[in-house]
């Protein structure tokens, strides 16, 4: 059965009041799981890895998955502009209006190429600078996280139908533990500023993870904080940010304000940010 776009026809299809955030996340989830088939085909064969002009890695999985995602989004949500990582790498870094979709077809390409399974497919919806719906799918792990009005997670194989709502688990962040925080940090992008930041906090445990799985660990209450001071792009973070916010968390920029999206003047680059599971613990 074809998916129907859950957008009201009037007065505005893109207002916060008329968007069905959970239904949008459901659409994104179906598309991500479908695109994962192409990703896993490359994962099991030669990825033809190469370097983009910015020296970051790209492989066939990124491009094949993005083509599927863009085709499906154009068919189901034709009125929503899309900014996708590989299209942006080829010069398309513009979107019109304050409502648009961000796509990272394979977040964690280094993890993909190292075959550790810690890579994700990310699709997020931005409305007036905020991530209001998003999905993070880890096809090698068979795990899917959805964020809309609420946050849920479930197990689903690439190309399989989404499980019914009764088979999904609603997720929430946890209060900051009195005995100390669990921090999750990038497996591939550590830096001195991150180390200095964590050194000033009561960190009880530290874990490493790739891609947007770090946002999901905080959203599920498995970790409390995820700092990132190295460069990221908006398509890297939008989906995981949406899941975390739906679970009750917050992502703050250097000025301790919620991370904003649609920064065209900065070429859609993020500044430093910290994802918190317990907003009061952040001082926000």
Q: What is the pLDDT of residue 63?
A: 86
Quick one: which of 175, 230, 182 has its CA closest to 206? 182
Residue range 181-282 in CATH 3.20.20.80: no
Q: What is the percent of the chain with per-residue pLDDT over 90, rounded to a whole number?
A: 70
Query: Average pLDDT of 247-260?
Result: 97
Domain with CATH 3.40.190.80 in the chain: 181-282
- Is 60 exceeded by the pLDDT of residue 257? yes
Query: Average pLDDT of 20-39?
Result: 96
Burial category of 41 from C-beta neighbours within 10 Å (exposed 0-12, middle 13-18, buried 19 and up): middle
Query: Average pLDDT of 127-138?
Result: 97
Query: Average pLDDT of 153-163?
Result: 98
pTM of the model: 0.90
Domain with CATH 3.30.540.10 in the chain: 21-170
| CATH number attached to the domain at 21-170 | 3.30.540.10
Chain segment 3-19, per-residue pLDDT in tens: 444 443 333 355 666 78
- Is 60 exceeded by the pLDDT of residue 168? yes
Range 263-269, long-range pairs (CB < 8 A, 24+ positions): 263/234, 264/93, 264/94, 264/95, 267/93, 268/83, 268/88, 268/93, 268/233, 268/234, 268/235, 269/231, 269/232, 269/233, 269/234
């Amino acid at each position: 059965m074809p998916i129907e776009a859950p957008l009201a026809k009037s007065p505005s299809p893109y207002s916060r009041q008329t968007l069905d955030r959970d239904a949008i996340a459901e659409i994104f989830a179906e598309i991500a799981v479908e695109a994962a088939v192409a990703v896993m085909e490359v994962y099991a064969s030669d990825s033809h890895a190469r370097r983009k002009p910015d020296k970051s890695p790209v492989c066939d999985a990124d491009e094949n998955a993005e083509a599927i995602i863009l085709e499906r989004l154009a068919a189901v949500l034709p009125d929503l502009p899309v900014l996708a990582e590989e299209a942006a790498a080829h010069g398309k870094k513009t979107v019109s209006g304050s409502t648009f979709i961000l796509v990272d077809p394979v977040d964690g390409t280094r993890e993909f190429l190292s075959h550790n399974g810690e890579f994700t497919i990310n699709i997020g919806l931005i409305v007036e600078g905020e991530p209001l719906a998003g999905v993070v799918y880890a096809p090698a792990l068979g795990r899917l996280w959805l964020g809309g009005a609420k946050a849920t997670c479930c197990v689903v194989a690439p190309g399989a139908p989404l499980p019914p709502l009764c088979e999904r688990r609603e997720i929430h962040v946890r209060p900051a533990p009195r005995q100390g925080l669990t921090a999750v940090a990038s497996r591939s992008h550590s830096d001195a500023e991150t180390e200095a930041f964590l050194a000033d906090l009561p960190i009880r445990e530290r874990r490493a993870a790739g891609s947007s799985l770090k946002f999901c660990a905080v959203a599920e209450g498995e970790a409390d904080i995820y700092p990132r001071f190295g460069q990221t792009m908006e398509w890297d973070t939008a989906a995981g940010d949406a899941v975390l916010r739906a679970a009750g968390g917050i992502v703050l920029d250097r000025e301790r304000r919620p991370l904003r999206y649609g920064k065209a003047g900065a070429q859609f680059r993020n500044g430093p940010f910290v994802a918190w599971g317990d907003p009061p613990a952040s001082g926000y």
